[in-house]
Amino acid sequence: MSAQIPVKDVTPAQARVEAVDLYANREKIYTRAFTGIFRNLRMLGGAALFLLYFGTVWLNWNGRQAVWWNLPERKFYIFGSTYWPQDFVLLSWLLIICAFGLFFITVFAGRVWCGYTCPQSVFTWVFMWAEKVTEGDRNQRMKLDKSPMSGQKLLRKIAKHSIWIGVSVATAITFVGYFTPIRALIPELFTLEASGWAAFWVGFFTLATYGNAGWLREQVCIYMCPYARFQSVMFDQDTLIVSYDPRRGEQRGPRKRDADYKAEGLGDCIDCKMCVQVCPTGIDIRDGLQIECIGCAACIDACDNIMEKMNYPKGLISYTTEHNLSGQKTHLARPRLIGYALALLAMMGLFAWAVAERSLVELDVIKDRVLYRENEEGRIENVYTLKIMNKAQRNVTYLIEVAGLDGLVYEGKREITAQAGEVLSLPIELSIEPEKLPSSTNEIMFRIQSVDDANINNDADSRFIGPSVR
């Protein structure tokens, strides 16, 4: 039996600390209703985004849905243009442009994307509105949650969740409608005739919207969104941020409206905590810049309303910069911002050029596995298969030509018509007299050209193989 070694705690009493729970339970945030210019801007922006998202899917173009990502056929329709998997490089460019656009706006005006146009924020505000119309404003909701279950409370909760589920279902159906024509999708869902994948994704996005905007809310912004983590490295002292002016606001304290608060040593902040009560992430902006702040300016509207009632100047909380708060001059034009702007403009220009110059016909040349053969006339013959993809939204007749080798004889169709969006396979044979071959491997080029539109053309390189030339 082993002896136990006695252990004595020699840590000084003043150095001992109590255990701290690193995983505190979430405290529910009850936001108060408010009015103001930034709220109006956010509502206008949200309405425009909702109209764009829910409205575009119902537009028609030449007898089909205007915006439709047809995954089974690998065709992506955007109004008058059809894009194919071969055009995915354009999507990469578009994502890079969006990233640099986000970098630019972050350097200039902080997290305005989060506060005004992020889907998580927009849908969270909609769900908060549903809470207000069914359960009342902040104090009423707090009182309702603390009260025991009753018939009235149950009805209010059912009404709130019904609106949440209704918005979530509409959002999910609209999203899936961009991949499955929405005019057919809706009746198929209600008659249980929709495909399994369509039903699955409608259910998935319903739960995602309901959970993120209804239950997780600020937890998504604070803990799940990577943008909250790396956006701070793009801030500088000239970035516009939502800030409280402590030089003007301190010392805080309540007072009567017409009191000489300066004589009492008080600042303009009356410590009403309205800025905290309207914040969707539940922070106190008076504590300084925080990672939880999404730049929605709700605190600015709330504080300006209080300042107006107290006959104080507005702007105690405002969009400002660290330089401005410290009494220094703000520099709008600075190297980082100019660099992002130039890079963004250059990429947008290149993207516009790439879309404008995008070929509406795709040509691939597949050479037969037999390197070459000698036909009955003693000529060296190579066999190819041309894959012709018509990206235009109309029927096109193409003329096929081959260049690069003198004396080459083309055997096969010279003209071919492809339906809109059709992919054709065309076998052709090329032959040449052996003495006219300069080498055993010869570069040739296939060219395809629309007979009625010179802008629709493409070419592809290949090789003509023959016997070794001595």
Over the chain (470 residues), the average pLDDT of each successive run of 10 is: 53 51 75 96 95 97 93 89 88 93 93 94 97 96 96 97 98 97 96 95 98 95 87 88 95 92 94 97 94 94 97 96 92 91 95 91 94 92 94 91 92 88 91 92 95 92 87
Is the bond leading into 251 cis (omega within 30 degrees of zero)? yes
What is the pLDDT, as a whole number, of residue 13? 54
Domain boundaries along the sequence of the chain: 236-325, 361-465
Entry field: residues in the chain:
470
Q: For residue 223, give the amino acid letter.
A: Y
What is the pLDDT, as a whole number, of residue 240? 94
The span from the CA of 298 to the CA of 35, in Å, is 9
Contact 298, 38 (CB under 8 A): yes
The span from the CA of 324 to the CA of 245, in Å, is 10
Q: What is the pTM for the complete model shown?
A: 0.85
What is the pLDDT, as a whole number, of residue 85? 87
Backbone conformation region of residue 209, classed left if phi is above 0, alpha if psi is from -120 to 50, else beta: alpha
Superfamily the domain 361-465 falls into = Immunoglobulins (2.60.40.10)
What are the φ and ψ backbone dihedral angles of 273, each rounded to 5 degrees?
65, 20
| Bridge partners for 83 per DSSP | 76
What is the pLDDT, as a whole number, of residue 328? 92
Contact 195, 7 (CB under 8 A): no
What is the pLDDT, as a whole number, of residue 461? 95
What is the pLDDT, as a whole number, of residue 412? 78
Contacts of residue 84, defined as CB under 8 A and 6 or more positions apart, other chains included, come to 74, 75, 76, 362, 389, 391
